[in-house]
Amino acid sequence: MYAYDEIDRTLVNERVSEFRDQVKRRLSGELTEDEFKILRLQNGVYLQLHAYMFRVAIPYGTLATNQLRALAHVARKYDRGYGHFTTRQNIQFNWIKLAELPDALEDLAKVGIHAMQTSGNNMRNVTSDQWAGVAPGEIEDPRIWSELIRQHTTLHPEFSFLPRKFKIAITASDHDRAAIKIHDIGLRLIKNEKGETGFEVLVGGGLGRTPFIAKTIKHFVHGRDILSYIEAILRVYNQYGRRDNIYKARIKILVHELGIEKFSREVEDEWQHIRNSSLEIDDEVIEDIRSRFTYPAYEKLPHMPDELRQAAADPDFEAWRKNSVAPHKVQGYSIVTISLKPTGGPPGDATAEQMDALADLADKYSFGEIRVGHEQNLALPHVAKRDLPALWKALDKLGLATPNVNLITDIIACPGLDYCSLANARSIPIAQELTRRFANHELANLIGRLHINISGCINACGHHHVGHIGILGVEKNGEEVYQITIGGRADESAALGTLIGPGVKFDEVADVVEDIVEAYLALRERPEELFMDTVKRLGVEPFKERVYATR
Ligand code: HEM
Ligand code: SF4
């Protein structure tokens, strides 16, 4: 966990009182909604279909149990008893009352949580691997660097009025769980030949109307230079990024229009000016941040405890363990993913009761720590293997042991027309229907790893472009129509999906997905050939034929 210092706390508290004053002036009519908009956006407050929507940052997806309890408290006291975990390590509350927002922010500030820069044209929450610090084989804990960038960019004047929002993600593992290739800047921690820590830097990724996979701009930037290098990129973006057309304002468009070579020359030029400046990071700064991340006092435990061996006789436990439990870098421990995708439920939602109960379980079984991942699931990062059976029973009672992590019902979905004022179509009911269609866990396991991602409009909050099966809601003649793509992925081999044909109606989406899955099961060469591998081998044609032959 990271421990805030006095400076962090003062900043967060000052921000709350400033916002309290702004809300007061809005409520009294002294500020118009237009004048208030820029102020509220800087504090993560949107105006949505039914109410204000409040977005809270969870930097690099790490939460202490008192923080999770504070989020539960906000859900219970100021909202309708639940919160929605998003694809960017944020949580959103959909029914907040403006007059109560400053109180909610104050309650969160007490535990070091804020909503700064969760909206607006600035540097957004710096995200990372939800298994950071515990994943076997990781170069080092990427959160140290996420925190460095977070501190440097929070309320930084140059990054507060960018042409458009800006997102950075960091991974330190071979397997990319942070989706770095669909971020404005993606950072991959690596070691050079001398054994020094640095980064491969990628730039220009992003989804939305014009999706791009990020390109490598530099193969190795030394850790001490990472702030100056990022700042050089942002300066070039600030200077050349388009401000006349919101659809062309993201850095991905600039990179695309200039070409990565020209763009990188500009960055290199800028970098030479600022490289050996105060932006160069002293070892002590990194050491200071590193020392604020504390790790649990792990015990020396056996690799295979008796409790686990005995529980293996229970097929229900085994079904859950197989998909939810991952190896940990310390022997005798595991990382446990908690699915927020129950059959028939809205993906990513957790009730206040579930959040509180999870905090209790994290205290009991995971050294008081919880993680939030971009697939809208949670994780307990340090569970002793001997505790897995007891944890599973407790999760099951809470409705949090759905054994579907990474399977077809582990769906990512944006709020769509149920909440979002930009939506063209519903997303949540599509996800709910699909989880019901594939509720049979044996079938889901037979299908294996398959990610479905759903967005209610072209903005792509539900990452539809990078879903193995992507579903995008559009509006046609007043009707919801869904375009289906296949072959997208958001990991280290990130790719954008290919559209398979004309859009289909709301009622047809689940049938179409079933057709695609049946085609895959018939076409795969062996059970181990995953959906993505079959698509890679055969292209989209056979799937297209199957879906449209009878439509
Ligand atoms: C309901 C309030 C929301 C609004 C008004 C909203 C608005 C937007 C807009 C306008 C974009 C496109 C930005 C661009 O390309 O310049 C976008 C992108 C995105 N949003 Fe949302 N969003 C909302 C909720 C969410 C939720 C709930 C999630 C997660 C489930 C989310 C995650 C994202 C992500 C991951 C992108 C990807 C595009 C990219 O930056 O590459 N947003 N959002
Ligand atoms: S993808 Fe569209 S509908 Fe979905 S949350 Fe984003 S803006 Fe709203």
For residue 510, the model assigns a pLDDT of 98
Cα–chain center distance at 477: 33
Token pair of 433, please?
């229907």
For residue 1, the model assigns a pLDDT of 73
Answer whether 415 contacts ligand 2 (Cβ < 6 A): yes
Greatest pairwise CA separation for the chain in angstroms: 68
User: Confidence class of residue 5 from pLDDT cuts 50, 70 and 90?
Assistant: confident
User: Confidence class of residue 139 from pLDDT cuts 50, 70 and 90?
Assistant: very high
Neighbours of 494 (CB within 10 A): 20
Token pair of 85, please?
């975990």
pTM value > 0.85: yes
Atom nearest to 85 CA in ligand 1 = 30
Neighbours of 140 (CB within 10 A): 15
- Cβ contacts of residue 427 below 8 Å, gap of 6+? 413, 414, 415, 416, 417, 418, 454, 455, 456, 462, 471, 473
In this structure, what DSSP letter does residue 282 have?
A: P
Mean pLDDT for 466-492 is 97
Answer whether 53 contacts ligand 2 (Cβ < 6 A): no
- Cβ contacts of residue 261 below 8 Å, gap of 6+? none
Interval 448-473: pLDDT, tens = 999 999 999 999 999 999 999 999 99
Answer whether 241 contacts ligand 2 (Cβ < 6 A): no
Mean pLDDT for 377-406 is 98
Answer whether 472 contacts ligand 2 (Cβ < 6 A): no
Instruction: Please name the residue whose Cα sits nearest to atom 2 of ligand 1.
Output: 420
For residue 81, the model assigns a pLDDT of 97
Distance 461 CA to ligand 1 centre (A): 4
User: Confidence class of residue 551 from pLDDT cuts 50, 70 and 90?
Assistant: confident
Mutate to test the pocket of ligand 2, among 86, 414, 419, 466 (most ligand atoms within 8 A of CB): 414
State how beta strands 215-222 and 82-85 pair.
Answer: unpaired
Instruction: Please name the residue whose Cα sits nearest to atom 6 of ligand 2.
Output: 461
Residue 388 reports pLDDT greater than 90:
yes
Residue 159 reports pLDDT greater than 90:
no
